[in-house]
Homo-oligomer: A and B are copies of this chain.
Amino acid sequence: MTEPLFDTIAIVGLGLIGSSIARAARAQGAVRSIVATARSPQTRKRVVELGIADKVVETNAEAVEGADLVIVCVPVGVCGAVAKEIGPHLKAGATISDVGSVKGSIVRDMGPHLPKTVHFVPAHPVAGTEHSGPDAGFAELFMNRWCILTPPEGTDAQAVDRLAAFWRLLGANVETMTPDHHDLVLAVTSHLPHLIAYTIVGTADELETVTRSEVLKFSAGGFRDFTRIASSDPVMWRDVFLNNKEAVLEMLGRFNEDVSALTKAIRRGDGEALYEHFTRTRAIRRGIIDAGQDTPAADFGRPHGHDD
């Protein structure tokens, strides 16, 4: 065990990410004490039952009192309101962070409510599953995943380093970039894929000529891969699209151009263009596996056989 990086961490919001941070921070001895809070009484009750925090309190204000590190783990649409609420209660010298999938809006919405005495270091651990809530979290979620920090200009370098060390201790690789660049990168590696998955799953459900039962039965032909991310938390994703509008619309424009090109190739029976495109995309998958960001096992390692 290393010396804890922070004395007390306050986690606001104990869903998949918040509860995984609590579990991982304890498993790694990253902090001495974990204070947790959540808006809903059921979540707070469940966190007590799970025993993943040292203390569970009712209000955000109470949670952050005296905390050395505060991580806000709520949908990006409410981060501003939470910052406003906790601002006056933050300890001087504390580090304030978040886990939002959009960073420009976080800087815009949270920044103004935080006192000059604290270090504001927005963060985005690029990790997750399709499940939500305190039971969905686990200590290994961040292992070998990337955590992106987007500190505003002029942020104390030591505070940034300490938060980076925290995420590394939880198993993550850390990279730093501007909020705008983050939002562009994530628009293509995360937001557009989610939007497309949500779309196609909806499309399949609205056909008159193919029944829902047929869609479910024959989903192993490829469709089922899309349903996983299309079952992610609706509130979280609504907020992502509302708060990263520009970058998502830009990526959608690119995507639409490419759909048009492939559609044209199909309409014309241009086998060569299709073959060329389908060959090129194979290399990307190999790159992702080589980068340690997915499993090389067939079907993501899904079980095959009687009980899968």
Q: Could you tell me which A residues sit within 8 Å of B by CB distance?
A: 77, 101, 126-131, 136, 138, 140-141, 143-146, 148, 171, 173, 175, 184-186, 188-207, 209-210, 212, 214-232, 234-235, 237-239, 241-242, 245, 248-249, 251-252, 254-256, 258-259, 262-263, 265-267, 269, 271, 274-275, 277-282, 284-288, 290-295, 298-306, 308
Contacts and interface: CB of A to CB of B under 8 A. Distances in A.
A255 B200 contact: yes
A239 B194 CA distance: 28
Contacts of A148: 218
Contacts of A144: 305-306, 308
Nearest to A265: B241
A165 to B, nearest CB: 19
A251 to B, nearest CB: 7
Contact of A200 (B196, B222, B223, B304): B196
Copies in the complex: 2
A140 B216 contact: no
A227 to B, nearest CB: 4
A72 to B, nearest CB: 19
A252 B263 contact: yes
B228 A299 contact: yes
Among A130, A238, A278, the one with the most B-chain Cβ atoms within 10 Å of its Cβ is: A278
A284 B200 contact: no
29 contacts: A126-B221, A144-B305, A171-B306, A185-B214, A188-B210, A188-B223, A189-B219, A189-B223, A195-B266, A197-B222, A198-B281, A199-B259, A201-B285, A203-B254, A206-B258, A212-B287, A216-B287, A219-B294, A224-B293, A228-B285, A230-B284, A234-B275, A234-B278, A237-B278, A241-B266, A249-B267, A256-B256, A256-B259, A295-B308
